[in-house]
């Protein structure tokens, strides 16, 4: 039975499942429907980047994902048979996960389904959304199963129904962009090769790209681009041929291989919110698999939506926070489409363009730009939301709250302080002589405000202050999705701290 304020989530892919988990753990009743009869058996995404892992770690899934995954340490670019650049993931700072996790998408989804069910959720497979209308108080949805059609009322509808989204179609929201001419072929399975198993290898040539990535269990993904008109009767044979032509190191596909042939597009919607209907994940943006960004971007759409939707539903926030979500996430989606497009074009350059690309990559490695700038961007750690730019040390508004250890044994980490619903006020006492006054102000504030979680980071954690570049006292307001909302120097002034916290409440409620 549906209660009219329930949230209907269409699609039990990774984005629908994370939306469901994040809403359930905030006490919001949801229904999750998926038109497939059973879970997706295909391994599409294989790379989880640190920000994606952090999003899943928030509800306790990190250990299980690591148990099933393989840590990838570096990414290599080869051209004309020689390596032109190497990106090392280990240099990523201020995250607990300085690597990419290789884990087949169906494994990630299995972990998410377990988490969702443990929270009391049920997935209705074999149930399609066929249409809906909006009225003042909610959404009237038509759902179809083998047993027939029903019409049911919901408070909100979140379309996580993938690239061919029916929700987007009913809304009539344009999906603007274009498609790449090439086709792409992949195999997942055992291979004999001396290529490092815990690294990503790109081999670029005028004929196309070859990508080799280690998978858990000693397997490899081997992935190639091919001419649009190449007849592909046997994908495994075509991948083997391209691998032998494009890679100077022998790769022999052995044993059973899962194969796939697909086309790639770059498209973004104009809108992610129309009234009480929201679009997230591939329903809102699709791009080339270059850099493994799609799933990761969708996970953050979900994490960043759920706390706002829960707050709006409870009347704590105004609906404007959902427009802010749309603005922020459309900005990220467009940036990701741009980045993956550049990388995809780079794969197949010829002649002087290829030589220039190789020179730029080589110079990027030597100068450290690839490790300092490109890796954190690919890991989505450096994406910051727009808004007023306040700064303190290494912190600035709009950025993801960095994760740094709070004790010498590295048992406690800063992002563990994030609550699920309440905003977090972090008060750094600084290392100077007034730190006791700052602590007193923060303690008094904590006693007065039980709707904001307050954590005081004092001088015993000098290294935490140093890692964040903070030598002065500082109050940092953090949204429930882990984005920094406001920064203030609260030294000795309780009213300044109060203003900071009411800013946060305002920031969350009024939207930025």
Contacts with ligand FAD by CB under 6 A lie at 10-16, 33-36, 40, 44-47, 105, 128-129, 160-162, 166, 186, 262, 281-282, 289, 292-296, 298
Smallest distance from ligand FAD to CB 341, Å: 15
Select 32 or 442, whichever has its Cβ closest to ligand FAD. Answer: 32
Sequence-separated (6 or more) residues with CB below 8 Å from residue 15: 160, 280, 281, 282, 283, 295, 298, 299, 301, 302
Select 2 or 36, whichever has its Cβ closest to ligand FAD. Answer: 36
Select 166 or 418, whichever has its Cβ closest to ligand FAD. Answer: 166
Smallest distance from ligand FAD to CB 322, Å: 18
Select 295 or 501, whichever has its Cβ closest to ligand FAD. Answer: 295
Smallest distance from ligand FAD to CB 137, Å: 23
Smallest distance from ligand FAD to CB 48, Å: 7
Cβ atoms of 295 and 285 closer than 8 Å: no
Cβ atoms of 228 and 180 closer than 8 Å: no
Q: Euclidean distance between the first and final Cα of the chain, in Å? A: 37
Smallest distance from ligand FAD to CB 145, Å: 10
3-state secondary structure of 385: coil
Select 30 or 457, whichever has its Cβ closest to ligand FAD. Answer: 30
Select 166 or 475, whichever has its Cβ closest to ligand FAD. Answer: 166
For residue 41, give the H/E element and its range. Answer: none
Smallest distance from ligand FAD to CB 76, Å: 17
Select 17 or 424, whichever has its Cβ closest to ligand FAD. Answer: 17
Find where tokens 């799933």 sit: 295
Smallest distance from ligand FAD to CB 301, Å: 8
Distance CA 281, CA 18 (A): 11
Residue 246 buriedness (CB in 10 A; 0-12 / 13-18 / 19+)? buried
Sequence-separated (6 or more) residues with CB below 8 Å from residue 376: 92, 382
Residue 318 buriedness (CB in 10 A; 0-12 / 13-18 / 19+)? middle
Distance CA 492, CA 490 (A): 6
């Amino acid at each position: 039975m549906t209660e009219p304020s329930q949230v209907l989530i269409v699609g039990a892919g990774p984005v629908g499942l994370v939306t469901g988990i994040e809403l359930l753990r905030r006490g919001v009743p949801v229904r999750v429907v998926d038109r497939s009869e059973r879970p997706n058996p295909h391994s599409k995404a294989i790379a989880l980047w640190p920000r994606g892992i952090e999003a899943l770690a928030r509800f306790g899934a990190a250990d299980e994902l690591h148990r099933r995954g393989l840590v990838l340490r570096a990414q290599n670019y080869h051209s004309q048979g020689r390596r032109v650049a190497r990106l090392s993931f280990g240099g990523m700072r201020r995250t607990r996960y300085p690597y990419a996790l290789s884990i087949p998408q169906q494994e990630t989804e299995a972990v998410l389904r377990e988490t969702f069910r443990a929270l009391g959720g049920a997935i209705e497979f074999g149930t399609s959304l066929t249409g809906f209308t909006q009225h003042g108080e909610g959404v009237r949805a038509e759902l179809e199963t083998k047993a027939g059609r029903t019409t049911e009322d919901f408070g909100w509808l979140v379309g996580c129904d993938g690239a061919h989204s029916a929700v987007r179609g009913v809304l009539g929201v344009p999906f603007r962009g274009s498609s790449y001419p090439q086709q792409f072929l992949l195999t997942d399975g055992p291979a004999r090769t001396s290529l490092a198993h815990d690294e990503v290898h790109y081999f670029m040539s005028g004929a196309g790209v070859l990508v080799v990535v280690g998978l858990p269990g000693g397997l490899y993904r081997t992935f190639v681009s091919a001419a649009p008109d190449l007849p592909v009767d046997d994908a495994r044979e075509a991948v083997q041929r391209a691998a032998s032509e494009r890679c100077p190191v022998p790769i022999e596909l052995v044993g059973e291989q899962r194969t796939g042939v697909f086309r790639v597009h770059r498209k973004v919607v104009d809108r992610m919110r129309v009234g009480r209907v929201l679009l997230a994940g591939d329903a809102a943006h699709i791009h080339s698999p270059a850099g493994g960004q799609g799933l990761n971007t969708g996970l953050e759409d979900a994490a960043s939506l759920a706390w706002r939707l829960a707050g709006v539903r409870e009347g704590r926030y105004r609906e404007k926070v959902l427009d802010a979500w749309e603005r922020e996430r459309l900005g990220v989606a467009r940036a990701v489409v741009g980045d993956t497009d550049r990388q995809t074009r780079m794969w197949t350059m010829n002649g002087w363009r290829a030589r220039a690309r190789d020179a730029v990559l080589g110079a990027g490695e030597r100068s450290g730009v690839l490790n300092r700038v490109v890796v954190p961007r690919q890991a989505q750690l450096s994406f910051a939301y727009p808004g007023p730019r306040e700064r303190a040390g290494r912190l600035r508004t709009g950025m993801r709250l960095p994760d740094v250890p709070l004790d010498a044994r590295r048992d406690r980490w800063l992002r563990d302080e994030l609550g699920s619903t309440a905003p977090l006020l972090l008060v750094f006492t600084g290392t100077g002589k007034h730190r006791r006054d700052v602590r007193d102000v923060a303690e008094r504030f904590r006693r007065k405000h039980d709707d904001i979680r307050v954590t005081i980071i004092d001088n015993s954690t000098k290294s935490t202050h140093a890692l964040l570049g903070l030598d002065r006292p500082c109050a940092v307001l953090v949204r429930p999705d882990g984005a920094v909302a406001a920064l203030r120097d609260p030294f000795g002034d309780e009213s300044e701290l109060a203003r900071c916290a009411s800013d946060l409440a305002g920031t969350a409620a009024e939207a930025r």
